[in-house]
Amino acid sequence: MASDTDGIPESSYDTDHQPVRNNGNDRSVWGRWSWALFCGLFSIVPVLLLIPSVGALISEITLQRECTEITDGTVTQLIFNDDDSSGSWTPVFRYGVSGRIYEQRSSVASAPPRYEVGEAVTIRYDPDDPNRYVVKGDYSALILHGVITIMLLGFTAVPVTIAVVVRKRRRPAEEPSYVM
Domain ranges of the chain: 32-67+137-166, 69-125
Residue type, 134: V
What confidence tier does 70 reach under pLDDT thresholds 50, 70, 90?
very high
| Nearest-10 crossing angle of helices 140-170, 29-66 | 160
Q: Does residue 63 surpass a pLDDT of 70?
A: yes
3-state secondary structure 64-120: HHHCCEEEEEEEEEEEEECCCCCCEEEEEEEEEECCEEEEEECCCCECCCCCCCCCE
Residue-level pLDDT at 77: 96
CA torsion 18→23→28→32, rounded to 10°?
-170
Q: How far apart are CA 68 and CA 123, in angstroms?
A: 10
Instruction: Quote the CA–CA distance of 123 and 126 in Å, as a whole number.
Output: 10
130 SS3 class: strand
Q: Tens digit of pLDDT for each residue in 48-62?
A: 888 899 999 999 999
